[in-house]
Structure 1
């Protein structure tokens, strides 16, 4: 994203929402309204330590004076969540992108099933509020490790849609725990399922839904972190730039982005985990070895694009539209 397209915001409020979770209220430094957004949107936040991370917006999309994000302190932080918790305070100025939405609500759905795991509640909560305001039919299931780790619980309980939300706690009794097979139930036309949370939680939800016969067109999801699978079979290969014919080797220990950067070719990146799609690049020839969580299974099967921040090649060469 160009510097001209970025926004400078100030942290107007930082508040503890649950154990290891803080919310950050962001307002424009120049006092102007913020760009409009829709439920499911996220922003790129450029942190003081130089890393960029994506955070979902969880305030009312009708608000133009602020953005609200929630951030979990992740013990496996690669510099994002730890920086937000430890170095970003009220008054801190940050650069952010305009909102982007890769996780929108489906127009015309007859009913929506919303499932949130942990901090994945941020886009799901925004969706619930939007659906409630529009008078749409939905149910929401919010799963956390314990009540102490359940962010925005009071906001939900005070909402007009509180009766449509069920809380599920890992340390609760059997009745409180999520009965996944019952929730996904039998697939029905016009019913759409949305899920966000840790990868294990999302894999379980999506696996159960697919086993129950849900078509991919009715499943919507957004991963916020990846567990990139590395294999001893991951070897060296080459990428060819279609514009110049230049061939660049990619070593076993390198990502494509790193190999390109070493050759003086910059590709815009953000998450560096194959989650956000910022680096998505067209593939003109060759077969990618997809390791991302951004593309759908159908998009991966087409093999005409890949995420060079983490994905590799099954063929000796990939020809890229660069």
Structure 2
């Protein structure tokens, strides 16, 4: 992570929000006094620099609250350590380093209706979006899916709002009918979905079947796409990366990530997830054609090859020139 974008915060409160989700409220202080945090927009996330590594979490509170950030953290069955640390070891009063907010899942600047779809912990950014849109007087509906009512964070709060529908797997006996949901919305609707990979795949497939314009289908992933290319392939070749700002040339070997090669060479490269899902390492491409292996950029953005995620992507040829 680029050290220049780090912020110092303190854990103000940790609250249980469901059987397997806690919210973490973070505040900043300067000379012992409460300090204003950098602004953010709905859909933004931050990195928490935890003792076990860097983890990205979406902001769920109102962007109007300049005094705090609130993230919600679920405890999945297969935690990589970050969620388990937050649930079991992180305490109120602890000091943390975090990144400034960044947004890879922004609301489109449009006036039409909005349909939000959340799966499990995907409610975190969706809740922020829903409340912001309602406060702005926008037409918005929310479908909130979870394994059970007991695992649905913020369910009581959201259930009291108009336009919110729940789908609990243990009560419904099957997945939500996304085709019906998308087909019933007005043509000008923008759709936003955040949740587990199988749900996002079903959402994209439903959008294609219903002929929804791709620019109206928005999503954010918490894990790599199910069909994402492998980060390392047996036939990966050697290529050279030139850093335009410093003039440094770095060789990337088979089995070595571009990010690791740059860090080994002393480059000041930003990064976080190392999985191609958070967008922290997005870097401008000046020359060359990237071999995109991320789950962030759209097909159109990958075809344009103006930027790339250097933590997982490589080069289709022998040479890349990056704006670093």
TM-score normalised by the chain length of structure 1: 0.89
Which aligned runs of 4 or more in structure 1 are off by greater than 6 angstroms? none
Deviation larger for 263-272 or 288-297: 263-272
1:107 paired with 2:114, answer no
Match of 2:70 in 1: 68
| C-alpha RMSD of the superposition | 2.3
- Structure-2 change in CA distance of 1:190 and 1:77 (3 Å): same
Residue 208 (str. 1) matches residue 206 (str. 2): yes
Report the TM-score, using the length of structure 2 for normalisation: 0.89
- Counterpart Cα distance in 1 of 2:253 and 2:135: 52
Matches within 5 A, 1:59-138: 59-138=61-140
d(CA) in 2 for partners of 1:303, 1:83 = 37
With over 3 angstroms needed to count, the CA separation of the structure-2 counterparts of 1:279 and 1:234, relative to structure 1, is: farther
Report if the CA contact (8 A) 1:119-1:151 is conserved. Answer: yes
CA contact (8 A) 1:288 1:318 kept: yes
Instruction: State whether structure 2 residue 56 is matched by structure 1 residue 25.
Output: no
Q: Contact 1:53/1:80 (CA < 8 Å) preserved in 2?
A: yes
Deviates more, 1:305-314 or 1:293-302: 305-314
What is the CA–CA distance in structure 2 between the aligned matches of 1:87 and 1:79, rounded to whole Å? 11
- Conservation of the 8 A alpha-carbon contact between 1:117 and 1:143: yes
Are the aligned partners of 1:186 and 1:212 in contact in 2 as well (CA < 8 Å)? Answer: no
Give unpaired runs (5+ residues) of structure 2: none
Contact 2:2 2:270 in 1 (8 A): no
Q: Deviations over 1:70-128 (max 9, x none)?
A: 00123433332222222211111112223222222222331001000110101101111
| Paired residues for 1:257-272 under 5 Å | 257-272=259-274
Runs (5+) with no aligned partner, structure 1: none
How many pairs align?
Answer: 317
Partner of 1:164: 163
Residue matched to 1:241: 242
**SS class of match (1:185):** helix
